[in-house]
Amino acid sequence: MSWSRESNSAIDVAIIAPLIAGHALVLLLPHSLESFNFSLGIYVLGYVVSLAAASTNKEFRHLLIIPVTGFGIGLMAEIVGVNTGIPFGKYKYISLGGPRVLGVPLDVPMMWGLYAYLMYLIASSTVTRRGSVGAVLRIVYASLLMVVLDLAMDPFMVSEVHAWIWLDGLGPKWIGVPASNFIGWFIV
């Protein structure tokens, strides 16, 4: 069966909307209901739904590459960030539960992997240019989408969830979050 760009876009929206809503639900739950197991469940559900949908089109190979790469790069960036302040600024996780890898809660790199995939999916639906220029445009657009997501998510996670605290960072602050964090998100 062959899929058109329009049907792929409809599938993309059908996948992305519930996954972002599910993650928003995790963020909005009271702390007594918020747990590593619940957020892990949302991420696993996100990966399973994405795998099922991606297996129906040509983008299947990206499902395997992007979340795994996003998890690995996100984990490394978070380990370096927590221990050195590079590239985001100096911060410390305080209330996220579950297992940690060198000070980084495991659900954080899981988020990096899933969000990298979702933002790339949006970028792939809107940037239709082929070849290496198209690939670069999709990566840049997906990176910008990650920053936009973090502009909303990070202030909430700091001020309401108290998941981490900012100890230091470069540049002006957006609702208590240093500009260096958003630059770091774009780079990562």
pLDDT digits (tens, 9 = 90+) for 157-184: 888 878 888 998 888 888 889 999 999 9
pTM of the predicted protein model:
0.72
User: What residues make up the domain containing 132?
Assistant: 5-187
In sequence order, what are the residues at sequence separation of 6 or more whose Cβ sits closer than 8 angstroms to the Cβ of residue 36?
A: 96, 97, 98, 99, 105, 106, 107
Q: Could you give the number of structural domains in the chain? A: 1
Instruction: Please report, for residues 60, 129, 159, 178, the alpha-carbon distance to residue 13 in angstroms, rounded to integers and kept in the order given.
Output: 16, 20, 30, 31
Tens of pLDDT, residues 12-44: 555 565 566 555 655 555 444 445 555 566 666
Distance CA 160, CA 77 (A): 24
